Amino acid sequence: MKIKRSVYIFLLAFVIMLVVVSGCLFKQTVDYKWENRELILQNDSLRGVVIELTRKLDTTKTAATGIILKTAN
């Protein structure tokens, strides 16, 4: 069974369209990251602060629990 030439042309056009669309989306992503670089860095810094504060809170709770247990015995 022979596939018509128009099917090949359609497939080629479809692949080209996918490449163009993905390129445009990639460019938008790069532009967004470049424009919002400062906000992204602030967000990363805030995440780091939250992680550090959570660690300190956990160690404080652990230490407080240890002191309570020692005084109870």
The three-state DSSP-derived secondary structure of 2-64 is CCCHHHHHHHHHHHHHHHHHHHHHHHHHHHHHHHCHHHHHHHHHHHHHHHHHHHHHHHHHHHH
pLDDT at 44: 86
Render pLDDT for 22-68 as a digit per residue (tens, 0 to 9): 999 999 998 888 888 888 888 888 888 888 888 888 887 776 666 66
- Whether 33 contacts 40, CB under 8 Å: yes
pLDDT at 21: 96
The predicted model gives 9-14 an average pLDDT of 95
Residue with tokens 């602030």: 42
pLDDT at 58: 83
In Å, the largest CA–CA distance within the chain is 88
pLDDT at 26: 94
pLDDT at 11: 94
